[in-house]
Structure 1
Amino acid sequence: MLNTSRIIKFTVFALLLFVFGCKDTPSKNDYAYTNRLIDETSPYLLQHAHNPVDWRPWSDSALEEAVAANKLLVVSIGYSSCHWCHVMEKETFADQDVALLMNEHFINIKVDREERPDLDHIYMTAVQLMQGSGGWPLNVILLPNGKPVYGGTYHTNEQWKEVLDKIINLYQTNPQKLTEYADKISSGIHATNVIEPKNDDTHLTKNTLDLSVKNWQKNWDSKWGGDLGDQKFIKPHSLDFLMDYAALTGNDTIKKHVENTLDRIASGGIYDHVGGGFFRYSTDPHWEVPHFEKMLYTNAQLISLYSKAYKVYKKIRYKTIVKETINFLEHEMKGQNGGYHSAIDADSKGKEGGYYQWKKEELKLLLKEEYSLFSTYYNLGASNSSEKEASLIIKQSSNDSLFSIQNDILPEKLVHLKTKWQELLFNERQKRVSPAIDDKVITSWNALLINGFIDAYKALGNKEYLTRAIALYDFIDTNNTRNDFLIHTYKKGSTQQEGFIEDYAFLIDATINLYSITGEKKYLDRANNLHTTTSTHFTDSVTKMFKYTKESKLISTLIKVDDGVIPSPNAIMAHNLKKLGILNYDNKLTEKSKQMLSSMAIYLTDNAKDFSKWSALQLHTVYPFYEIVIVGEKADSIADIFNSHYIPNAIVVASTQESSLPVFKNKYIEDETFIYVCQEGACKLPVQSVEQALKQL
């Protein structure tokens, strides 16, 4: 479909780019091609800045150009630590023949899904409607008006050229057919974002909640934990809900399922037993062979989960997981000036997981006579089928006490050996080429980490964790705010401005928790101000939910209500409204929270696994939810005691002095410290000991 003159023109253009597009100082950064991504700060976009494809970032001007030229758009979405994104970049987008085809017939746009989750959600929905599933890289072809006519994930070079040829031919010969198909897909996208507002709470009962969990339970993996599936993602918010549900209902079976899941994850290859931290997901049902990306949101949420689990199950391993994961984040993902980076790549020197895997001979040389015991304890498993060339993945014994008995080793000796082995392998691994780090600071993900630090402080009592939570909040407040609005990502030189509802929802949640743990009014004020912003700029007049963006120029308003690897921002907002309503004595906020939950009730019974954060709110609606209010000179120390306990249905607030805040009104008595157990402002008789208050609960 390409003539000789076109090829000559492109070659001349490429040469001109090479001659005039060079930097002032010739260096290793000189490339044959440089496209418009070169001015971006996203590591993912910069990975494609020297493709021969004429990539550009998403912008109004690119869309206007498509309309003016009546050209289709290729929108390719991925992220910097995505292995198959790297593969397709090298195989396909670096190919000149592919570039010639794309540049002549399309406006080509690259999107970092971590910078623009709104675009990712919209077009992922399109691909799921077209193909039944999705993934990354996400490649969609759009009409000039932004409506999708094709969507898929990874393509080989030949597959991609075949797709492009077919779409080009169809657009030239039968554009009406493409338009009709695009309209149908766009209608489907719109339908997935329509939630009928309801105020009927008759379905919010203990019975309906029990039924939803029972339906979900049919899909649980009783042996390996989590849900059944060929691949497994860790869903911290789901396990968090089930832990609370088991406690309030006294369901020991569910409590054991959560414990088994946590144990399997902690001992599997999905956890980095050498350097700490969790990988993104397991490529098998047994949590053994991970996909080797490390994401901030994964580790932030798992710090919270294992902190809570430590309070419930009292297992030392859970405490160790929390400490090691925090140490990993401090050493590997924290920026020089504060703020935590978004991701660590799966690849090292072009090999997926190469940084984390070991050859048998390599381990034997390092460990010498201790190799046999080491390999038994760590259940070494091959990551491929060729035993001779196998790269080994380190897993861990699930029971240290049993291992000590079976191998005639004193428990303290085993602890010493594990520390020695970890240090030995960690130091050796440090000599390797490290995976690349995506150094964007994402507001919502860092807010999750603020909560992680707070939860670790509550469970372990280490005040350094609280200090880190406060420092991280201060960083976000300083760097990720523009004119009283939040931005989604921060990186020096970045032009990103727009904050999404997930940024506001998660940061409100974090500031409420900071207020609860510190008693400092400035955090409650910040939470109230952020809520005012969301209410003013994000409320959807039709669904009464919160829109994903302040102003949407996309093909559909985006209302994100289901959980993914992070919880639904609307569900988080509903929790925030309930807590702010309690703390401010504002019934309008608690009623808004219940209204949002009522609108979601019909989805929960058969789909609890996708809406566990809503189920958690239902749990706090059908069972009592308390505010524990502590007032007096000993309030802070007593609050610390409450926070160290596992209480699944309460928020703790404390003040050492008289306060004008509604939650403390008429509760302060000079020279005394009293504990009030309340429900939406209605309090039981005040008591002076933690034991008495726990009995009232």
Structure 2
Amino acid sequence: MNRLKDATSPYLLQHADNPVEWFEWGEDAFAEAARRNVPLLISVGYSACHWCHVMAHESFEDEGTAALMNEHFVNVKVDREERPDVDAVYMAATQAMTGQGGWPMTVFATPGGHPFYTGTYFPRPQFQRLLAGVSNAWNGDREAVLEQSSKIVEALNERSALPSGPLPTPDTLARAVQSLSRSFDQVRGGFGGAPKFPPSMALEFLLRYGAAAEPRTGAEGGEPEDRREPGAGAGAGAGAPTATAMAGRTLEAMARGGIYDQLGGGFARYSVDADWVVPHFEKMLYDNALLLRVYAHWWRLTGSALGRRVALETADWLLAEMRTPEGGFASALDADSEGVEGKFYAWTPEEIHEVLGEEDGAWAVALYEVTGTFEHGTSVLQLLSDPDDAERSARVRAELLAARAHRVRPGRDDKVVAAWNGLAIAALAETGALFDRPDLVEAARAAAVLLDGSHMDGDRLLRTSRDGRAGANAGVLEDYADLAEGLLTLYGVTGEVRWFHRAGALLETVLDRFADGSGGFFDTADDAERLFQRPQDPTDNATPSGQFAAAGALLSYAALTGSARHREAAEAALGTVTVLADKHARFAGWGLAVAQAAVSGPVEAAIVGPLDDPATSALHRTALLSPAPGLVVALGEPGSAEVPLLEGRGLLDGAPAAYVCRGFTCRMPVTTPAGLRAELAS
């Protein structure tokens, strides 16, 4: 019997009609494996995973393969997005045993859950042979299998945690920039070769470093001025490029390449080539939330017109494509439609001519580089330079987008993940404030309301919900940390103190339930389900590591409260950054970004005045426009005391005032945007 029909995960529901007798992860599966005395076959994937679909079609929908699986194994299907802890421990085993990892992940384990053979995607003939071979080994030489499993688990548990060093210094951060420059692709942008993933966290660090340590390239003394981007080598000069130049070249290359949806907005998961042309087509919430914030910060630092455009298009895409009826944001869009990867996004010249006519069609084919770069003579669209005729470009884009709307759309995984919604809340709140888009701020607020309601169980956070109904899976470290980051950002934009208080409560749980006793954090709480290993990975992956995300939120909260406890916890968690900075900076981007904020203070801006006073709004906006790394903003009415940074701060001669502080030591208050800019610049 397939037991997935009542699952809440869209990924599990994709397998509910398989002839495989799937179990969800849980005690029922372990008990059944023990009763039958057969191994577990644990298959881990996610809804937008192309090769997960391929293996499902080839093997899990095949009656013969399913019969082998059902006869010899208890089969468990896991949504890695719902259970990142389960994914993490088995991915560690897979990487240790095979030297690589990925999804779908295929794990054979004892009835107790201890792995003894692992892999990723297997074509059906190979998979059938593997099923027979593993079953024969289990039945014919079980002692050897169990010994292998014991050695694997012992080796994984004996792996020493990543050593920790002192708090990073300015010299540590400079060495990290040098490390990144050694793998920087000056021609194409990005780091290393194909495949290329959006290096969102490293880009955030480079922008923060550029703001702190390099000459400003934006408009001094006012708001950033939109300007056309320079050429590919701009800012590099002779020798190594600057941090700002590396970030800018990469952001430009991604925005102009096929990895970015030139019609509808939003970024694909990664580029299979080094030129950012051919994407792996799924679109993930976390990528787009992180990139939205980075593009907005790029504009804030440099005045990039491209940064502004892409930030706003990505924000609009999030609201149009990813927002759920309850106000949250869905996890992902699939790579496939009609069983073909990328079919929704790719075009032939003939299709473009059919939509636009000959004259506009020829112009659009040239503009978007429709030269058969993908499969079957199709192309993804690129925009390697801005068109000379902006009005014509807007009209052509709108017509192509309208025509594309009639195609079969990729599927959407509409579960709401707390961590990724936290990233979206931060990005939308900041982008809305920077570009005067109150609808974006309202979208961030609505997501926060959903999470503050549906995802809270007392003081504990639940990881997922769907249709407004929370799942049973406990939040992991990244959920608490990313949501706290998002709520602190939302408070800084709106002045609504409830978000400050909720963030503080989440961080209390982080300190009480996740600390490892050595300055770091486990990825699961101390009362979470016991796996064969308690996951703990301080390095970034597709999203900021839970440890670095916690450090960032703790640092911001300390800056708003003056809490030495939170500051010390943040600094202790950043010790691994010092170890990673020289050779592995790409895997510590968020930690480096937080470390840059810590080295810089961070700067604290307290804005005091009636919230409906234009003078208060002008000071508030000036503060938010500052690129000071990790800047925290407290906003409140005169006499506000709930946020400690505001306590004792009042109007100046009856006028709204701004106080610029570091470590709760404040300079004289100012009452004008120009005065505040000067204080922030100093």
TM-score (norm 1): 0.89
How many Å apart are 1:207 and its aligned residue? 1.9
- Asked if the contact 1:308/1:459 (under 8 Å) is kept, the reply is no
Per the alignment, residue 377 of structure 2 pairs with 390
- Asked if the contact 1:628/1:650 (under 8 Å) is kept, the reply is yes
Q: How does 1:79-158 map to 2 (within 5 A)?
A: 79-158=46-125
How many Å apart are 1:138 and its aligned residue? 0.8
- 1:166 corresponds to 2:127: no
- Return the alpha-carbon distance in structure 2 between the equivalents of residues 345 and 205 of structure 1: 42
Counterpart residue identity of residue 209, structure 1: L
- Return the alpha-carbon distance in structure 2 between the equivalents of residues 70 and 512 of structure 1: 50
Question: Deviation per CA, 1:314-357, whole angstroms, max 9, x where unpaired?
Answer: 22222221222222222222222321111111111111111111
How many Å apart are 1:180 and its aligned residue? 2.9
Counterpart residue identity of residue 334, structure 1: R
- Asked if the contact 1:193/1:559 (under 8 Å) is kept, the reply is no
- Return the alpha-carbon distance in structure 1 between the equivalents of residues 315 and 655 of structure 2: 38
- Return the alpha-carbon distance in structure 2 between the equivalents of residues 274 and 192 of structure 1: 47
Counterpart residue identity of residue 235, structure 1: P
Per the alignment, residue 317 of structure 1 pairs with 306
How many Å apart are 1:564 and its aligned residue? 0.9
- Return the alpha-carbon distance in structure 2 between the equivalents of residues 592 and 495 of structure 1: 30
Question: Deviation per CA, 1:42-93, whole angstroms, max 9, x where unpaired?
Answer: 2211111121211110011211222333221100011111111111111111
Question: Deviation per CA, 1:531-560, whole angstroms, max 9, x where unpaired?
Answer: 122222222346642432441311111113
Q: How does 1:434-473 map to 2 (within 5 A)?
A: 434-473=409-448
- 1:370 corresponds to 2:360: yes
SS of residue paired to 2:112 = coil
Per the alignment, residue 259 of structure 1 pairs with 248
Per the alignment, residue 29 of structure 1 pairs with none
Higher alpha-carbon deviation: 530-539 or 42-51: 530-539
How many Å apart are 1:244 and its aligned residue? 1.0
Among candidates 639, 650, 663, match of residue 680 of structure 1? 663
- Return the alpha-carbon distance in structure 1 between the equivalents of residues 299 and 419 of structure 2: 25
When residues 72 and 229 of structure 1 are mapped into structure 2, their CA distance, relative to the original with a 3 A threshold, is same
Among candidates 482, 495, 504, match of residue 519 of structure 1? 495
Among candidates 592, 595, 618, match of residue 618 of structure 1? 595
- Asked if the contact 1:81/1:343 (under 8 Å) is kept, the reply is yes
Among candidates 310, 335, 339, match of residue 346 of structure 1? 335
How many Å apart are 1:610 and its aligned residue? 0.1
- Return the alpha-carbon distance in structure 1 between the equivalents of residues 551 and 325 of structure 2: 35
- Return the alpha-carbon distance in structure 2 between the equivalents of residues 606 and 586 of structure 1: 33
- Return the alpha-carbon distance in structure 1 between the equivalents of residues 43 and 311 of structure 2: 36
How many Å apart are 1:608 and its aligned residue? 0.8
- 1:214 corresponds to 2:178: yes
Per the alignment, residue 668 of structure 1 pairs with 650
- 1:61 corresponds to 2:47: no
Q: How does 1:205-604 map to 2 (within 5 A)?
A: 205-250=169-214, 253-367=242-356, 368-384=358-374, 389-398=376-385, 400=386, 404=388, 414-492=389-467, 495-541=471-517, 544-549=520-525, 550-604=527-581
When residues 192 and 369 of structure 1 are mapped into structure 2, their CA distance, relative to the original with a 3 A threshold, is farther
- Return the alpha-carbon distance in structure 2 between the equivalents of residues 204 and 313 of structure 1: 26
- Return the alpha-carbon distance in structure 2 between the equivalents of residues 642 and 544 of structure 1: 32
- Asked if the contact 2:560/2:632 (under 8 Å) is kept, the reply is no
When residues 503 and 468 of structure 1 are mapped into structure 2, their CA distance, relative to the original with a 3 A threshold, is same
Counterpart residue identity of residue 442, structure 2: T
How many Å apart are 1:684 and its aligned residue? 2.2
- Return the alpha-carbon distance in structure 1 between the equivalents of residues 506 and 605 of structure 2: 24
Higher alpha-carbon deviation: 284-293 or 141-150: 141-150
- Asked if the contact 1:539/1:547 (under 8 Å) is kept, the reply is no
Counterpart residue identity of residue 320, structure 1: R
Counterpart residue identity of residue 658, structure 2: I
Counterpart residue identity of residue 92, structure 1: S
When the two structures are aligned, how many residues end up with a matched partner?
646
How many Å apart are 1:591 and its aligned residue? 1.1
- Asked if the contact 1:36/1:54 (under 8 Å) is kept, the reply is yes
Question: Deviation per CA, 1:390-431, whole angstroms, max 9, x where unpaired?
Answer: 112111132x2xx53xxxxxxxxx111111111211111111
- Asked if the contact 1:310/1:459 (under 8 Å) is kept, the reply is no
Higher alpha-carbon deviation: 177-186 or 455-464: 177-186
Counterpart residue identity of residue 82, structure 2: E
How many Å apart are 1:156 and its aligned residue? 0.5
Among candidates 629, 654, 667, match of residue 606 of structure 2? 629
- Asked if the contact 1:580/1:589 (under 8 Å) is kept, the reply is yes
Counterpart residue identity of residue 676, structure 1: Y
SS of residue paired to 1:233 = coil
Among candidates 146, 170, 176, match of residue 143 of structure 2? 176
How many Å apart are 1:577 and its aligned residue? 1.4
Higher alpha-carbon deviation: 236-245 or 623-632: 623-632
How many Å apart are 1:454 and its aligned residue? 1.3
- Return the alpha-carbon distance in structure 2 between the equivalents of residues 621 and 477 of structure 1: 28
- Return the alpha-carbon distance in structure 1 between the equivalents of residues 324 and 471 of structure 2: 19
Counterpart residue identity of residue 659, structure 1: S
How many Å apart are 1:446 and its aligned residue? 1.1
SS of residue paired to 2:574 = helix
- Return the alpha-carbon distance in structure 1 between the equivalents of residues 519 and 69 of structure 2: 39
How many Å apart are 1:96 and its aligned residue? 2.0
- 1:692 corresponds to 2:675: yes
When residues 84 and 649 of structure 1 are mapped into structure 2, their CA distance, relative to the original with a 3 A threshold, is closer
SS of residue paired to 2:659 = strand
Aligned residues: percent identity?
33
Contiguous gaps of at least 5 residues in structure 1: 1-33, 405-413
- Asked if the contact 1:194/1:543 (under 8 Å) is kept, the reply is no
SS of residue paired to 1:645 = coil
Contiguous gaps of at least 5 residues in structure 2: 216-234, 236-241
How many Å apart are 1:599 and its aligned residue? 4.5
SS of residue paired to 2:77 = strand
- Asked if the contact 2:463/2:475 (under 8 Å) is kept, the reply is yes
Counterpart residue identity of residue 489, structure 2: N
Counterpart residue identity of residue 261, structure 1: T
- Return the alpha-carbon distance in structure 1 between the equivalents of residues 537 and 302 of structure 2: 33
Per the alignment, residue 17 of structure 1 pairs with none
- Return the alpha-carbon distance in structure 2 between the equivalents of residues 548 and 234 of structure 1: 27
Per the alignment, residue 607 of structure 1 pairs with 584
- Return the alpha-carbon distance in structure 1 between the equivalents of residues 672 and 157 of structure 2: 54
- Asked if the contact 2:253/2:276 (under 8 Å) is kept, the reply is yes
- Return the alpha-carbon distance in structure 2 between the equivalents of residues 131 and 382 of structure 1: 36
Higher alpha-carbon deviation: 661-670 or 414-423: 661-670
- Return the alpha-carbon distance in structure 1 between the equivalents of residues 628 and 382 of structure 2: 32
- Return the alpha-carbon distance in structure 2 between the equivalents of residues 416 and 228 of structure 1: 37
SS of residue paired to 1:440 = strand
SS of residue paired to 1:579 = helix
How many Å apart are 1:192 and its aligned residue? 5.2
Per the alignment, residue 227 of structure 2 pairs with none
How many Å apart are 1:265 and its aligned residue? 0.5
Counterpart residue identity of residue 244, structure 2: K
- Asked if the contact 2:347/2:370 (under 8 Å) is kept, the reply is no
When residues 183 and 658 of structure 1 are mapped into structure 2, their CA distance, relative to the original with a 3 A threshold, is same
TM-score (norm 2): 0.91
SS of residue paired to 2:108 = strand
How many Å apart are 1:369 and its aligned residue? 1.5
How many Å apart are 1:669 and its aligned residue? 4.0
Per the alignment, residue 42 of structure 1 pairs with 9
When residues 516 and 546 of structure 1 are mapped into structure 2, their CA distance, relative to the original with a 3 A threshold, is farther
- 1:644 corresponds to 2:608: no
- Return the alpha-carbon distance in structure 2 between the equivalents of residues 60 and 522 of structure 1: 38
